[in-house]
Amino acid sequence: MIAPFNRWRLSIGGRIFLGFGVLAAAFITQALIGNMSLHMTIDHFRLYGSSNAEVRTILEIEQNLLELQRGVLVFSYTGYGGVITRVKKVQEVLARQFHNVRLTIHDPQRSDILRRMNEHFKLYSESFQSAMEERILLDQVTLKRLAPLGSEGSSMLSGIQKSFLKSGDLEGATLAGSALENLLMANLNAQRFQHRPNSKLVRNAQEQLSNLKKALERLTKHQKMEKLPMEMEFFRDFSSRFEEAFVAEVQATRTYLDLVYVVMGGEAAEITQLANELKKLSLEKQSLLEEQMDKTVFLAEWFSQIASVLATSLGIFLAWWITRNTTRPIRTMTRALTNLARGDKNVDIPGKGRSDEIGAMAMAAHIFKERAFELENASQYKTEFLANMSHELRTPLNSLLLLANMLALNEQGNLTDKQVESARIIHESGRDLLRLINDVLDLSKIEAGRMELVLETRKIFDCIHALKRMFQTVAEDRGIAFETTLDSGLP
């Protein structure tokens, strides 16, 4: 029976190919997963590295911002010019760092923070520039206007007072002393304001300057002052000049303090807040990356293990499957064919229902089995035929042999030698024919495995003689030379 064609059933070769293909695919998949996870890990490491560099830069920015604030604080208290150089250097470093970090960070949230940080940093830098200018202005007002006015005015008033005292002008001395007292008090409050600014000091100083103005008016109206025209000229608008310088000092101080403590402080607070936010986001990003890396490694490990287990299981399954579906049927087939070869007619050929190579082999064996039966039958008929034929041949041949022998014996003596020889040849040829017929019969024995070989010693001379006798006459009749030669060395 031939199995129906099933397009879903593959041949053994196909199945083995498919099996090993799947196995190879599993191993390739495993290798690919390994490769992919390696690539992903490398990518993650690269990202982690750049993220780490970003965090480092952000921390450096934070550090430099602190350094900047420290420098500004020192400058705000001391006004020392050397600090300016240091602060400007830190500003340059920060500007560069902002620029560089903005080139590396591209996500919108952090980019926006950096943009805002940069804007506030610019405002901070501009404010510092303004603060420096205000400080210079303040120092100029304090040191070059207010202080000389105070010392010059007090020194001059003191001189006037002494001069009046010396001349015995007590009224003039009292007027000069009153002006001096107000000037010294105003100057003291101005100095106090420089040291520790307070609006009360400003009010007090302005009140004292107002008193100074009145005292100077009284002094300049004093009769004896006419003798001091230079002093008169100096004190003519002295209180206004002093007040102007003092107000300029107050305004410069307030502007300077507002710039340093409020404007720059506000920008610094915002920058610090943004830097903290940026740091937080960057660290969060880094943590996320770490989590992703852990996850990737875990997944790669998991996939690799699963692929290994699958490949191993598939290998074991394939081995079992090949054994079950191929090796075992082949062994069964081998046994069946052996039995068939041994002549077991009842042997059953396995696997005839299969559509694969084993099925084809089974079908071939089945056909072989059928042919073997046919051949066996043919051999039997041949044997029977030969048996009959030998009987039919031997009967007349025996008569022929008997008659030829009688002629060869020439008991009557009426035959010529040639005739006798011919009769002998007939007899011997007849015997050879009989032997041949027997040999044909022996073939049956050989086929049946019953032939027995008889090993004996014969003289080579007898063999040659027999051949000569058998073939020489025939050869001569056909004009063919027939010669026999024996080596002299033969035994």
Partner 1 sequence: MISFLPYVHNVDSFGYDSRIVPQGKAYETESWGWLLDERWHGKVAIVNAPTIGIFDLGLAAQAQGFMTFANIGAMTEEEVDRLFAILIEKKQKGHFCGFWNSVPESADFISSGRAAIASMFSPAIADLNERGIPAIYAAPREGYRAWHGVMCLSSRTTGRVRDAAYDFMNWWLSGWPGAFVARQGYYISNPQRAKKHLSQGEWDYWYEGKVASEDLRGPDGNIAVKAGQIRNGGSYWKRFSNIAVWNTVMDTYEYSLPRWNEFLLS
- Distance, in Å, from the CA atom of 321 to the CA atom of 313, rounded to the nearest integer, reads 12
| Euclidean distance between CA atoms 51 and 53, whole angstroms | 5
SS3 22: helix
d(CA 111, CA 100) in angstroms, rounded, equals 12
CA-to-CA separations, 248 to 127, 236, 283, 303, in angstroms, rounded: 20, 20, 49, 78
Closest to partner 1 by CB, 220 vs 253, is 253
Which residue, 146 or 201, is less far from partner 1 as judged by CB?
Answer: 201
Give the shortest CB-261-to-partner 1 separation in angstroms.
4
Shortest reach from residue 237's CB to partner 1, in Å: 15
- Report in angstroms how near the CB of residue 123 gets to partner 1 at its nearest: 9
What residues have CB less than 8 Å from 365, skipping those under 6 apart? 333, 336, 337, 340, 349
- Transcribe 83-112 into DSSP letters: HHHHHHHHHHHHHHHHHHHHHH--SHHHHH
Residue 192 Cβ, how far from partner 1 at the closest point, in Å?
A: 11
To the nearest whole angstrom, how small is the minimum distance from the Cβ of residue 78 to partner 1?
14
Cβ proximity to partner 1, 242 vs 256, nearer residue = 256
Evaluate whether 476 touches 482 at the Cβ level (below 8 Å): yes
Q: Annotate 258-277 with b (16+ C-beta within 10 A) or e (fewer).
A: ebbeebbbebbebbbebbee
Q: Which is nearer to partner 1, 159 or 197 (CB)?
A: 197
Least distance CB 65 / partner 1 (angstroms)? 10
Asked whether 164 and 224 are in contact (CB, 8 A), the reply is yes
Question: Minimal distance in Å, beta carbon 253 to partner 1?
Answer: 7
Residue 244 CB, nearest distance to partner 1 (Å)? 11
What would the DSSP string read from start to end of 406-424? HHHHTTT--S-HHHHHHHH
| Cα 198 → chain centroid | 68
- Is 17 or 261 the residue whose CB approaches partner 1 more closely? 261
The token duo for 80 is 């020392």
Closest to 357 measured CA to CA, from 23, 16, 19: 16
Q: Closer to partner 1 at the Cβ: 29 or 272?
A: 272
We find the least distance from the C-beta atom of residue 73 to partner 1, in angstroms, to be 9
Minimum separation from the CB atom of position 273 to partner 1 (A): 6
Q: 176 or 275: whose CB is closer to partner 1?
A: 275
414 burial class (0-12, 13-18, 19+ CB within 10 angstroms)?
Answer: exposed
Q: Which is nearer to partner 1, 255 or 282 (CB)?
A: 255
Contact by Cβ (8 Å): 475, 482:
yes
Q: Is 233 left (phi over 0), alpha (psi -120 to 50) or beta?
A: alpha
What does the binding site for partner 1 look like in residue numbers (CB under 8 A)? 69, 196-200, 203, 253-254, 257-258, 260-263, 265-266, 268-270, 272-273
Tokens of 231: 């002093």
Contact at 8 Å (CB) between 20 and 10?
no
> Toward partner 1, which CB reaches closer, 124 or 238?
124
Nearer to partner 1 among residue 207 and residue 270 (C-beta): 270
